[in-house]
Structure 1
Amino acid sequence: MKRDRRAILKNAAVLTAALAIPNAVAASGRLLTQRDLKPIAEPPVPPAPPIAPIQTSSRVVRPDLLRQALASLDRHRSSIQRQDRIAIADMDAPSSQPRFHIVDLRNGDSKSFLVAHGSGSDPAHTGFLKRFSNEYGSNATSQGAFVTADYYVGKHGSSQRLIGLDESNCNALGRNIVVHSAWYANRDMLQTHGMLGRSQGCFAVGEGDLDKVFAMLGSGRMIFAAKV
């Protein structure tokens, strides 16, 4: 009886192994033995591909500003559908510099564009943003995190609505703060005036840059504007 039980257990073990590695049985053309029932080690897990560091030089995005933008992305994560790329508007830089940076957070690549600020943020038209405002009628740029929304065609042509996610820009949708193109944000303004013109608080980019900005930014991504 004990012998029969041992035989049953042995056959069960052999059957289990055969089901697990049928190719081995077919290749060998023989019955499996206890020697064949060695544990099979798990294949080594390939290492995860390295994540490229995000460029943080002063020629791209200043480190302090980037840290603030990433902290804002984390804080508003539930409201931002796409988190692979973000746009960072460095409003500490003059309008004569490409200061609208679209950063790919997966590989660190970035592309920078000229962008105008609001006339209410620079009343004397110095080319530098002096103040932010969230007030209706201020014509000023607002600071904080925005999420890009839908596209439409308005008085400035193709435009993209923005939703403010912070108390400092929560009126953005009602104020019609959008991304659009404008002649006064074209590069040739720098040759004649040394700075861009001013918007009514919108992120106005050059007419030749709008399609690129829309293609890289899309809907459901974050724009972060700050002066650090």
Structure 2
Amino acid sequence: MKKALVSVCLSFSLLTLSPATFAHYVRAERPVVPGESLSAWFRAYDDLHLGAAGLKREVFEYALRGLQKIDAKPIISIVDMSQPSTKKRLYVIDLANKKLLFHTYVSHGRNTGELMASSFSNVNSSNKSSLGFYKTLDTYMGKHGLSLKLKGLEKGFNDNAYDRAIVLHGADYVCEDFVRRTGRLGRSQGCPAVPNAMSKQIITAVKGGSCLFVYYPNQDYLKKSTYLATL
């Protein structure tokens, strides 16, 4: 009886914590996988110098908050669309082994913006990127070569991704030469396209059940995403 009462009191106290305090509690206490704690995953931000690589701590913590709620491998791919397309804004992180596997360019949809992303959609034929959390599926050979199917997990934000054929693939317009010629990266029909030279390695590393998080500071998304809710 006493244990049950303590549990109820603890649960109630968590409900009254501020988001920052709750995040601290989760980082310090909540186990994620056997032998690994979420606090160790959060330390990866400093250990891997992700700030120096251009990724804001807030975005990394959003990604981990969502990852806790997804049955996925401990590999997180973060596309930070708050950065211009001329920046290397894709981060593929092996949390279990504390390694930054890839840090490179990634495109956004042609109707999402030019240099900067600004407009997002879940609608077919919109040629826009979709925000939120995805789970990687299986691979196939398409017009861009080896490509990776994606399942959008967030209703209203990216759950039409599979039907829209939004996939991870390589593209010749995702390269520094294109940036030098045009002042921005090439754009896709909504897919997160990566450099051709790295696409096979990236796809092989993340296929089959890892998590992809496409971020932009869109207030509607940040308020409504169930994956970013602290409780």
TM-score, normalised relative to structure 2 = 0.71
1:116 maps to: 107
Unaligned stretches of 5+ residues in structure 2: 1-34, 218-231
1:226 maps to: 215
- Tell me how far apart the structure 1 counterparts of residues 191 and 36 of structure 2 sit (CA, whole Å): 39
- Tell me how far apart the structure 1 counterparts of residues 103 and 53 of structure 2 sit (CA, whole Å): 10
- Tell me how far apart the structure 1 counterparts of residues 190 and 178 of structure 2 sit (CA, whole Å): 19
User: Do the aligned residues in 2 keep the contact of 1:60 with 1:112 (CA within 8 Å)?
Assistant: no
1:178 maps to: 167
Judged with a 3 Å threshold, the aligned counterparts in structure 2 of structure 1 residues 49 and 106 are, in CA distance, closer, same or farther, namely closer
- Tell me how far apart the structure 1 counterparts of residues 106 and 184 of structure 2 sit (CA, whole Å): 10
Judged with a 3 Å threshold, the aligned counterparts in structure 2 of structure 1 residues 92 and 68 are, in CA distance, closer, same or farther, namely same
Map Cα deviations across residues 20-52 of structure 1 (whole Å, 9 max, x no partner).
xxxxxxxxxxxxxxxxxxxxxxxxxxxx89947
SS at match of 2:44: coil
Judged with a 3 Å threshold, the aligned counterparts in structure 2 of structure 1 residues 179 and 49 are, in CA distance, closer, same or farther, namely closer
Map Cα deviations across residues 165-203 of structure 1 (whole Å, 9 max, x no partner).
001100000000000111111221122122111100001
2:95 to 91, 97, 105: 105
User: Do the aligned residues in 2 keep the contact of 1:60 with 1:101 (CA within 8 Å)?
Assistant: no
1:64 maps to: 58
Please state how far the C-alpha of 1:62 moved relative to its aligned partner.
1.2
Residue 135 of structure 2 is aligned to residue 147 of structure 1: yes
State how many pairs are aligned.
174
- Tell me how far apart the structure 2 counterparts of residues 191 and 160 of structure 1 sit (CA, whole Å): 28
2:145 maps to: 157
Residue 48 of structure 2 is aligned to residue 90 of structure 1: no
SS at match of 1:190: helix
1:128 to 103, 116, 120: 116
Map Cα deviations across residues 85-106 of structure 1 (whole Å, 9 max, x no partner).
1100001001111101001112
SS at match of 2:201: helix
User: Do the aligned residues in 2 keep the contact of 1:183 with 1:206 (CA within 8 Å)?
Assistant: yes
Unaligned stretches of 5+ residues in structure 1: 1-47
2:183 to 194, 204, 213: 194
SS at match of 1:136: coil
Map Cα deviations across residues 45-96 of structure 1 (whole Å, 9 max, x no partner).
xxx8994721241525211111111111112x23x3x1x2110000100111
User: Do the aligned residues in 1 keep the contact of 2:110 with 2:189 (CA within 8 Å)?
Assistant: yes
SS at match of 2:161: coil
Please state how far the C-alpha of 1:164 moved relative to its aligned partner.
0.3
User: Do the aligned residues in 1 keep the contact of 2:147 with 2:203 (CA within 8 Å)?
Assistant: no
- Tell me how far apart the structure 2 counterparts of residues 61 and 219 of structure 1 sit (CA, whole Å): 25
Instruction: Kindly name which structure, 1 or 2, has the bigger radius of gyration based on alpha carbons.
Output: 1
Judged with a 3 Å threshold, the aligned counterparts in structure 2 of structure 1 residues 62 and 219 are, in CA distance, closer, same or farther, namely same
User: Do the aligned residues in 2 keep the contact of 1:187 with 1:206 (CA within 8 Å)?
Assistant: no
Please list every run of at least 4 consecutive aligned residues from structure 1 whose deviation after the TM superposition is greater than 6 angstroms: none
- Tell me how far apart the structure 1 counterparts of residues 149 and 187 of structure 2 sit (CA, whole Å): 18
TM-score, normalised relative to structure 1 = 0.71
- Tell me how far apart the structure 2 counterparts of residues 68 and 215 of structure 1 sit (CA, whole Å): 25
Judged with a 3 Å threshold, the aligned counterparts in structure 2 of structure 1 residues 138 and 49 are, in CA distance, closer, same or farther, namely closer
- Tell me how far apart the structure 1 counterparts of residues 111 and 165 of structure 2 sit (CA, whole Å): 15
